């Protein structure tokens, strides 16, 4: 009887003129307008975005992509309000301690901010200036000083609904702003110990270890962590500090028992693995006696030892702030043993999540079930081919445009907010790679990862999409929780 435009809001004007000529009453026209408005309030079907994983030379596919346009108008049109300085919402049953902590209410995990507001962390990692000549010139022209950069960058992030900064950020400069962003710190316990001990090497995105064996059984590692953690006492009264990451992307491998047994006989890791295996299978046990269950149990044993040592060091000198884990990645994400072990010692489980276009509900549920803790997604991104960069480095997705990057952000964060176990995220990262930084990690040389170019120019289509989600995060949580109740009503007694 009438037609609608692509966004389902505009009635075909020639039809209305024809109806008027035919004597349609004002009441009929109003009824038609009301019907069109009701239709516009209904969610639309998800679209797709063409993407390739990691490398634009690999196969492009269309991936189902849910955005705000797929949700009812009442959700799209409502922005969060009543937020406190930390970005949280004061609610019943939340307790102010002066520092961030976590709580689980009605089956959903939250951060509780220093004022007692239920909060979600919406951050960007690596918020700091680039060091290449071209980037320095652009920095000077745009900001003139580090102070101005910190003020303007904080304003930019707040303008787009972000409340915090992630790992590898210039927290000293950003913390000096009068109304700072919530921040995190990465301590690099194992990485720092490895550099001092020797034997580590560079891999794309993270530090490599001999045979994928971290030095967690070295007798000096515990002492090293204690020494490294002493300066944390200086920050133990800072309410803007969310918490600490102990390391980044350590190799917690399913075959760790075999790997440690393959180390040189005098290596403390080899000796610890031999002692552990022989305690189970007798004094003559070798790697050939190791069962699949032994492999799983040793992995849990090794991971638990690492987190016990690092947690003790952090909490000894700063018991007020959250321990956010070591940013799991890759094969770590599939193994319940890893999450059982970490859950005994951390406050929040941090995950660098690649290989997924949309969050997998079953995987998120497993992480929370095994650890008993909420989840923070600490790296994820998509690279746009309209940036002028070649985009061959890094682990994220490749898409065609900045608007597609924004759609990816919407799709991924909607899944995280729906999950009930995720308390926030850090997009990776603040600025694009600069190909002139030839000494950079191989994964950070030629890719469009930033919300800004490597000359401090913002990617507006991406930032606009980020803003749309970030400024409705609590509204979206309420919507998803209500939808879940509709789908799973309580049993009739």
Mean pLDDT for the stretch of residues 280-296: 96
Give the pLDDT of residue 240.
98
Residue 22 has pLDDT above 60, yes or no: no
What's the confidence (pLDDT) of residue 484? 87
User: Please, what is the end-to-end C-alpha distance for the chain in angstroms?
Assistant: 46
Cβ distance 42 to 4 under 8 Å? no
Name which residue leads in pLDDT, 94 or 347: 347
- Res 44: pLDDT: 78
Q: Side-chain half-sphere of 371: how many Cα atoms within 13 Å?
A: 32
Separation CA 32–CA 57 (nearest Å): 50
Range 17-46 average pLDDT: 46
User: Is a pLDDT exceeding 60 seen at residue 225?
Assistant: yes
Confidence of residue 489 (pLDDT cuts 50, 70, 90): confident
List the domain boundaries for the chain: 1-40, 47-487
82 burial via Cβ count (<10 Å: 0-12, 13-18, 19+): exposed
- pLDDT, residue 256, reads 98
Is a pLDDT exceeding 90 seen at residue 67? yes
Q: What one-character-per-residue DSSP string does 117-176 give?
A: EEE-EEEEE--S---SHHHHHHHHHHTSSHHHHHHHHHHHHHHTT--EE-TT--HHHHHT
Confidence of residue 64 (pLDDT cuts 50, 70, 90): very high
> What integer is the mean pLDDT of 55-59?
93
Q: How far apart are CA 311 and CA 244, in angstroms?
A: 10
| Mean pLDDT (whole number) for 160-177 | 98
Give burial (CB, 10 Å; 0-12/13-18/19+) of 438.
Answer: exposed
Specify the CATH architecture of the domain 47-487. Alpha-Beta Barrel (3.20)
Q: Model confidence over 183-202: pLDDT tens digits?
A: 999 999 999 999 999 999 98
Query: So what's the pLDDT on residue 420?
Result: 98
Q: What is the mean pLDDT of residues 104-112?
A: 96
CA angle 191, 297, 328 (to 5 degrees): 35
**What is the residue-averaged pLDDT of the chain?**
91
Least confident window among 42-51, 220-229, 248-257: 42-51
Give 323-373 as a 3 state SS string: ECCCCECHHHHHCHHHHHHHHCCCCCEEEECCCCCCCCHHHHHHHHHHHCC
pLDDT in tens, 349-377: 999 999 999 999 999 999 999 999 999 99
Provide mean pLDDT across the span 238-246: 98
- Please give the DSSP secondary-structure letter assigned to residue 76: H
Q: What is the mean pLDDT of residues 143-153?
A: 98
pLDDT higher than threshold 70 for residue 404: yes
CB 61 within 8 A of CB 407: no
C-alpha span between 427 and 165 (Å, rounded): 9
Return the H-helix or E-strand segment holding 312: helix 292-317
**Over pLDDT 70: what percentage of the chain?**
90
Q: According to the model, what pLDDT value does residue 41 have?
A: 54
Residue 17 confidence (pLDDT) above 60: no
pLDDT digits (tens, 9 = 90+) for 305-333: 999 999 999 999 999 999 999 999 999 99
Q: What are phi and psi of 249, to 5 degrees?
A: 50, 60
CB burial class (10 A; 0-12, 13-18, 19+) of residue 439?
A: exposed
pLDDT at 493 over 90: no
- pLDDT at position 485: 85
Pick the range with the lowest mean pLDDT from 11-20, 50-59, 116-125.
Answer: 11-20
According to the model, what pLDDT value does residue 389 have? 98
For the cut 90, the answer to whether the pLDDT of residue 23 exceeds it is: no
pLDDT-derived band at 92 (thresholds 50, 70, 90) equals: low
> pTM for this structure?
0.90
């Amino acid at each position: 009887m009438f037609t609608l435009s692509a966004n389902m809001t505009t009635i075909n004007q020639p039809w209305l003129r024809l109806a008027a000529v035919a004597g349609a009453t004002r009441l009929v026209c109003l009824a038609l307008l009301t019907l069109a408005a009701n239709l516009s309030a209904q969610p639309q079907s998800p679209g797709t975005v063409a993407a390739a994983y990691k490398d634009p030379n690999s196969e492009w596919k269309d991936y189902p992509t849910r955005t705000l346009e797929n949700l009812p108008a009442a959700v799209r049109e409502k922005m969060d309000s009543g937020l406190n300085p930390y970005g949280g919402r004061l609610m019943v049953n939340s307790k102010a301690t002066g520092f961030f902590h976590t709580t689980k209410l009605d089956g959903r995990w939250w951060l509780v901010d220093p004022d007692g507001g239920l909060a979600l962390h919406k951050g960007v990692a690596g918020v700091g200036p680039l060091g290449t000549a071209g980037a320095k010139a652009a920095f000077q022209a745009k900001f003139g000083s580090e102070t101005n950069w910190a003020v303007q960058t904080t304003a930019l992030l707040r303008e787009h609904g972000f409340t915090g900064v992630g790992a590898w950020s210039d927290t000293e400069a950003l913390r000096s702003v009068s109304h700072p962003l919530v921040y995190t710190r990465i301590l690099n316990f194992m990485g720092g110990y490895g550099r001092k001990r020797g034997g580590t090497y560079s891999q794309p995105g993270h530090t490599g270890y001999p045979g994928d064996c971290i030095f967690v059984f070295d007798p000096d590692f515990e002492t090293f962590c204690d020494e490294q953690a002493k300066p944390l006492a200086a920050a133990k009264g800072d309410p803007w500090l969310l918490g600490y990451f102990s390391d980044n992307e350590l190799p917690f491998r399913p075959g760790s028992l075999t790997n440690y047994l393959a180390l040189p006989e005098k290596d403390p890791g080899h000796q610890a693995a031999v002692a552990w295996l022989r305690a189970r299978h007798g004094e003559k046990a070798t790697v050939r006696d190791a069962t699949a269950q032994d492999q799983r149990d040793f992995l849990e044993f090794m991971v638990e030892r690492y987190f016990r040592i690092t947690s003790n060091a952090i909490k000894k000198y700063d018991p007020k702030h959250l321990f956010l884990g070591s940013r799991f990645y890759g094969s770590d994400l599939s193994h319940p043993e890893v999450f059982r072990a970490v859950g005994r010692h951390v406050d929040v489980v941090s995950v660098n999540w690649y290989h997924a276009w949309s969050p997998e509900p079953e995987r998120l549920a497993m992480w929370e079930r095994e650890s008993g803790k909420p989840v923070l997604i600490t790296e994820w991104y998509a690279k746009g081919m309209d940036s002028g960069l070649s985009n061959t480095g890094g682990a994220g997705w490749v898409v065609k445009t900045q608007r597609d990057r924004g759609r990816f952000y919407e799709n991924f964060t909607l899944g995280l907010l729906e999950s009930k176990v995720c308390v926030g995220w850090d997009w990776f990262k603040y600025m694009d790679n600069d190909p002139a930084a030839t000494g950079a990690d191989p994964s950070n040389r030629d890719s469009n990862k930033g919300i800004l170019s490597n000359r401090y120019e913002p990617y507006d289509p991406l930032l606009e999409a980020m803003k749309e989600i970030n400024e409705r995060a609590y509204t979206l949580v309420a919507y998803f929780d209500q939808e879940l109740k509709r789908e799973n009503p309580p049993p009739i007694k």
